[in-house]
Structure formats: C-alpha cells, structure tokens
Amino acid sequence: MNQAYQPLRLHVPEPSGRPGCKTDFSYLRLTDAGTVRKPPIDVEPSDTADLASGLIRVLDDQGNALGPWAEGVPVEVLRKGMRAMLKTRIFDNRMVIFQRQKKMSFYVQSLGEEAIGTAQIQALKAEDMCFPTYRQQSILIARDVSLVDMICQLLSNEHDPLKGRQLPTMYSVRDAGFFSISGNLGTQYVQAVGWGMASAIKGDTNIASAWIGDGATASSDFYNALTFAHVYRAPVILNVVNNQWAISTFQAIAGGEATTFAGRGVGCGIASLRVDGNDFVAVYAASAWAAERARRNLGPTLIEWVTYRAGPHSTSDDPSKYRPADDWSHFPLGDPIARLKQHLIKIGHWSEEEHSAVSAELEAEVIAAQKQAEQYGTLAGGQIPSAATIFEDVYKEMPEHLKRQRQELGI
C-alpha cells in the first residue's frame, strides 16, 4: 500500500534572483495605479480580501495621481514629505560614512523605504504613539527631532540621551511619539496593541502605530498581537514593511510565497490593505484611512507596504553575496523620492532648482549637526557616558544598597 506514494519531501522557497542572475520580480503581482477601490472606513474586515491581495497604487509611471486613493491629499503634505524623505536619505548617507570612518560601531540605513514613515507620520496626531523598528528613522526626521540628539545616540557619547545603553539606531523619543526600539523583533507589535488598548481603556483618543518587517512576521509575537487587536478592536495601525529581505533571507521564507502578508490580517478578522510602499501619495492615503478607522472605534487595520531594502541590512552586511548587486535598479516600484519628485513637478509644486536647493540646505543642516555631535565624543575618541550612570534610572529613589555599591566603586 505504501508503495503507491512517493517519499514525502518539504518545500524550501528560493528567491527568484541570485548574484549574477537577474531577479524575476513577477512574483510581486502588481496592479496598475488607480485601479484598486477605496471602501468606506466602516468596511467589514472580511470584505477587504481583494484589497489584501491586490496592490493599492496612486502614482503611475508618468507621475500622474490616479484613482480614488488620490483624492484629498494636501499638496503641503507632499512637499513636507519630500523634504523629510530627502533629509532621511542624506542623514543615512552621512551616517554610513561615519561608521566607515570608525566613529560609530553600527548603522542601519533605510534607503528605498523613506516614503513609508514620512507619509504615515503625517496622517497621525502628535499624541499618537509609534512602535517602530530600527529602520524607521524617517519618522523621527519627519517629526523634526534634533539631529544632534540622534547622532549622539548613534555615537553613544556623553550627550547620548540613552546614556550608551542601547545599540546605535535603537532610539527612544517619547515626546515625538516614538517608543523605545526593541532589538527583540516582534515585541513592539504586542506592545503597540497593548498601548492602543490602554488608550481605549483610559477613554483617550490617541491611537498606536505598530511596525514590523516581513521577516519578523514569522515570530509568534506577530500573531499574538493580531489576536488581541482583532478581539478587542484595538485602535492600532499594524504596519508590515515587506522590503523583500530579512538580512540574507528572502521574504518567501517568512511565508510570503504565493500569498501576501496582508492576507494574514484578513484571516485574523482584521481589515487589511496591500499598498505600494514606494508611492508616497498611496502611503499617506492608506495611513489616513487606517488612522480614521482606529480613531472612530472601527478597529485595527493591517497594512502591508511593498517596498525594497535597497541597501545592506546594516553596516555589517554585504548583500552582493546573496542577491544581484544591481537588484534595486530593476525593482518595479522604483525609488520613492524620484516618484514623488516627478509627481510634484508635474502638478507645478516642485522644480529641479528647488530640489537642488533643498538638498544642499539639508546636507548643510546634517553636516552642522554631525560636527556638533562629534564634539561630545565618538567611538574613536572614547568620550562615553560616566560609568556612574549605570546606577541611574532603575529606581525612582536610589535604594541604600545601590548607593553603597556606587561608593565602593568610587564613581
């Protein structure tokens, strides 16, 4: 009887490109700009299945804004977003060089993903709370957080607001609605849902925004968060940044093959969208839709942002070892900055001259912040927070035994 069957075997997904072999991006299953419907905000989660498998896009290849998601996006939001995206890219560029100069130990850039944080933050209120990963520095930059403070955190120097206790890029800026980044991937998803539930329990009107990468959706925390968000209709936006890679692991290994990450949300009873993450206008429109749902007590929305991690995972990674070195230039959703620039010029609210002038102004701003931060110490210079600070911030009042220990150490 057993002879009727072939031996069992497992399927191991493979990326459709490798070094020296051009990626076949047809697996992305794209839809044309303007073709996906925009439902009312009180849509039933089960009625979003088509939105979780399609792809919401507004900007076409010529820079036109098309379809129902294009309506009502203020030009001021686009112009602010353009500046914030440019500033993020310039900041990232300079910090990578800083790390190469051995002035800091580690850096994570967000090249190619700048639209997602910069657009979503403009759809939120200042009192809302984001629970980001290490690749959402664009949120801090769009909220005009001090670049000097950010760089001091990266340098773990005497002015590091986190006193050298966190890995560089693991920012924490409560006043900017930016929760402490957790190095344990996935945990921030549960925390975000809990924060949103607490906001509802207190009767506030503030909502939470949770962030996770494609790879980290494979963690059990992701599903725990979805269950709580669904059951209690927590006021939260559940962002999944699908940048196709988790270090050297292709997104299919986390479960993206022949399905979508947005589809997980529908299966859990959560309204879900799959959106072109390199289309600033679409990101803003989808974020505003989800924020409005949360604020009107209609529950959570999961949004999968389709984008591409254009740079290495971190300064410790060399992607040319596992994917074609020029992969990003073939990615069908392009570069978010170039696409918004094309659109803004087309509608007469940006120009090549303004682009150059703003870029130069922002470059000068980043350089000035870098010079100032460097004065407080770099990895090479050895100015680090005093060891005495390890006794601080644990208890409101320092207990006697800690005071004694500090005295014994003479610090």
Binding region for ligand TPP (CB under 6 A):
133, 135, 183-186, 213-216, 219, 241, 243, 245-247, 309, 313
Please, what is the angle between helix 187-202 and helix 220-231, to 10°? 20
The nearest distance, CB 169 to ligand TPP, in angstroms, is 11
Cα–Cα distance measured from residue 89 to residue 355, given in angstroms and rounded to the nearest whole number? 13
The residue number whose beta carbon is nearest to ligand TPP equals 213
The nearest distance, CB 121 to ligand TPP, in angstroms, is 17
Query: Closer to ligand TPP at the Cβ: 317 or 363?
Result: 317
The nearest distance, CB 275 to Mg ion, in angstroms, is 16
Query: Closer to ligand TPP at the Cβ: 75 or 325?
Result: 325
The nearest distance, CB 243 to Mg ion, in angstroms, is 4
Query: Closer to ligand TPP at the Cβ: 30 or 167?
Result: 167
Select the binding partner of residue 350 from Mg ion, ligand TPP, none (C-beta < 5 to 8 A, by kind): none
Phi and psi, residue 91, nearest 5°: -60, -50
Q: For residues 63 and 89, is the Cβ–Cβ distance under 8 A?
A: no
Query: Alpha helix (H) ranges present in 101-219?
Result: 114-122, 137-142, 147-155, 187-202
The residue number whose beta carbon is nearest to Mg ion equals 213
Query: Alpha helix (H) ranges present in 307-351?
Result: 327-330, 336-346
The nearest distance, CB 140 to Mg ion, in angstroms, is 20
Q: Identify the residue whose tokens are 């098309």.
A: 66
Residue 10 CB contacts under 8 Å (≥ 6 apart), including other chains = none
Query: Closer to ligand TPP at the Cβ: 215 or 277?
Result: 215
Rg of the chain over CA atoms, in angstroms?
22
Binding site residues, Mg ion, CB under 5 A = 213-215, 243, 246
The nearest distance, CB 62 to ligand TPP, in angstroms, is 30
Select the binding partner of residue 48 from Mg ion, ligand TPP, none (C-beta < 5 to 8 A, by kind): none
- Concatenating the DSSP letter of every residue in 325-393 gives TTHHHH-TT--HHHHHHHHHHHTTS--HHHHHHHHHHHHHHHHHHHHHHHHT--TTTT----GGGGGSS
The nearest distance, CB 361 to ligand TPP, in angstroms, is 29
Q: For residues 341 and 86, is the Cβ–Cβ distance under 8 A?
A: no
Cα–Cα distance measured from residue 165 to residue 153, given in angstroms and rounded to the nearest whole number? 9
Select the binding partner of residue 260 from Mg ion, ligand TPP, none (C-beta < 5 to 8 A, by kind): none
Query: Closer to Mg ion at the Cβ: 116 or 225?
Result: 116
Select the binding partner of residue 184 from ligand TPP, Mg ion, none (C-beta < 5 to 8 A, by kind): ligand TPP
Select the binding partner of residue 149 from ligand TPP, Mg ion, none (C-beta < 5 to 8 A, by kind): none
Residue 201's identity, in one-letter code, is: I
